[in-house]
Amino acid sequence: MLYKRSSALFKQAEAVIPGGVNSPVRAFKAVGGTPIFAKSAKGAYIYDEDGNKYIDYINSWGPMILGHAYEPVVDAVIEKAKQGTSFGMPTEIETHIAELAVSMVPNIDKIRFVNSGTEACMSAVRLARGFTKKDKMIKFAGCYHGHSDAFLIQAGSGAITFGSPNSPGVTQGTAKDTLLARYNDIDHVKALIEANSNEIACVILEPVAGNMGCIPPKDNFLRALRDLCDNNNILLIFDEVMTGFRLAKGGCQELYGVNADIVCFGKVIGGGLPVGAFAARNEIMNHLAPLGSVYQAGTLSGNPLAMAAGLAMLKAINAQKDLFDRLSKKTKYLHKGCTEALNDLGVKHTINRVGSMISIHFAEEAVVDFESSARGNNDTFKHFFHGMLNEGIYIAPSAFETWFITDALSYKDLDETIAAVRKVAETL
């Protein structure tokens, strides 16, 4: 494929935007080459500025669960925009989407809308600290909760230690209250809690990880976390920015039968517009201003365009009783086809799948946490990525990102994708 215009646009962007992109993973730094500039998208397909067509497996990093330019969402945004784009005042539609979300998700009474997943997660942690009157939190290596300072922490020198910043601009003072655990390792979490008795406000995690590739929780891991939190007066926060309204109507709480104390949302809940949200039971949410003393605010939070898009999306999801079954079957079909193609050609790999999230890890062993994910062959992935791109298949330009399946994908699209995997695998 030719990328002449994309290359020119990237060069132009580099002069006025750091790295030429407004989010680092778009820069293709992890895979090499020049990023593709999107021009339009419809259904399962995305079209670039050079006129190339791709079967899309990032779907704006998750929200396009029903396909690009989904007509009910587009129509809702257009009609709402005609009435004004933002008021800085309450609007009726905010209550409508809040009522629908609360009715779909277990164990929440109130929800507050913000503008991004980062805002949702940072606000959830602040709320947990205000509610428990404790300062420390546990997060898991490889789980990404946005770019708030407290989340940009890597492991320290010992197995049970304070974190240290892994981004300039994050202070040691911030890092000292963040404890880093190994995903899927409940014994490590126990050790951290014991070493920091009565100091931990919350445990935050992606219940199904998507930022080290797709990694599901081990059997009973989420239940064991729930029990640990209950026994130590710690709040459990599920970051469902990716998984919320994607793996089930009620997200991972419904899927795994484990309740969180606070749940964070993004992606699907905004229908493709910039939206985040966090939700909990009344006893927790009532600590937020203006009811309580935990402050959180946002000028554009709950803006009418985002609320219109999100409400149309949630209504569509809520009305389709077999949606998640369809998505799961399509993802399983893709999994089976990719496995057969890679096995036939002797390519060492592991595939993880949960619902409509799937990842190919070029690793020989099971991928259950960040360390095992990081041991995958990144050189193989780079070759695979560019090979798939040349075959008209757009996957995330990073080995540490999940693929997202959209209902707009046909089985013909899946067969074309499997055929591309087989063709590219011949060159690996």
What positions carry a catalytic annotation? Answer: 144, 239, 267
CA-CA distance, 393 to 23, in Å (whole number)? 21
CA 112 to chain centre: 19
CB-CB contact of 108 with 280 (8 Å):
yes
CA-CA distance, 129 to 174, in Å (whole number)? 14
Task: Concatenate the DSSP letters of all residues of 72-85 into one string.
Answer: HHHHHHHHHHTT-S
CA-CA distance, 11 to 264, in Å (whole number)? 36
Neighbouring CB atoms inside 10 A of 321's CB total: 8
Structure tokens, 308 = 């219109």
CA 230 to chain centre: 26
CA 281 to chain centre: 23
Question: In this structure, are strands 45-48 and 38-42 parallel, antiparallel, or unpaired?
Answer: antiparallel
Phi, psi of 375 (to 5 degrees): -80, 0
Phi, psi of 202 (to 5 degrees): -155, 160
Question: In this structure, are strands 53-56 and 393-394 parallel, antiparallel, or unpaired?
Answer: parallel
Q: Which of 235, 234, 236, 265 is nearest to 250 (CA)?
A: 265
